[in-house]
Amino acid sequence: MRLADKVALITGGAAGIGRATAERFAAEGAKVVIADVDEARGEAVASALGGETSFYRVDVSDRQAVQGWVDATVERYGRVDILVNNAGILRDNLLVRVKDGELIKQMPVEEFDLVLSVNLRGVFNCAQAVAPYMIRQGGGVILNASSVVAEDGNFGQTNYVAAKAGVIGMTKVWARELGRYNIRVNAVAPGFTQTEILASVPEHILDEMRARTPLRRLGQPEDIANAYLFLASDEASFITGVVLRVDGGIVVGT
């Protein structure tokens, strides 16, 4: 029970890595408060976990909605110990696509802005909302979802890579700024992980992903959840400002 009586906020907790993290944290004794835009799934996860698990419909790009969620959590429990900034979206597209020297397609600026609003500004919104509470209570843990592509780049993911690289930068800044208040800030960078995002990917592409991973398998949501659990626990009490790759050893190529 490494998180006994801790209050943990998890964004994007209705499915995939977020759900696995909610399940792992609840099993370790945490009071889990899930935020997601998928109300049906979020309610189902909270119901399945039972106990002190609850769900709020929150769009992390909406600063007021985030603040309301955090305030409601503190009003209920009196504190917030852990924030897992897991929520994220994809809108993959090439920067430009050219045929016979002519521009035929490019990444819409709306897609670029949307991904950054959720994957980058959403992380900022949530961290800024919890930090004052953590400072007043004498400490806390903020964990941010980055990605291996933030360091390696990836074909067709200008917006996603920019956001996840920004998350690494913010993680390092906040570790410096908030360390004096006993707040630890770290990032986890998953590799290719078997979530619903990969459900539509053809099997031969998944085989290529496995072949490029030294451990010869895709990650499972539980692999990432276990990393979050370690970093959230007192076992990681002297770890801050790091990016933990959970990727099976992969280096993303072109």
Alpha carbons 40 and 246: distance in angstroms, whole number = 29
Alpha carbons 224 and 196: distance in angstroms, whole number = 15
Which amino acids are annotated catalytic? 160
Which residues does residue 56 pair with via DSSP β-bridges, in sequence order? Answer: 35
Which residues does residue 241 pair with via DSSP β-bridges, in sequence order? Answer: none
Residue with tokens 């190529």: 253
Alpha carbons 14 and 33: distance in angstroms, whole number = 11
H helices within 81-220, ranges in order?
A: 109-119, 121-137, 149-152, 158-178, 203-211
How many Cα neighbours within 13 Å face the side chain of 71? 6
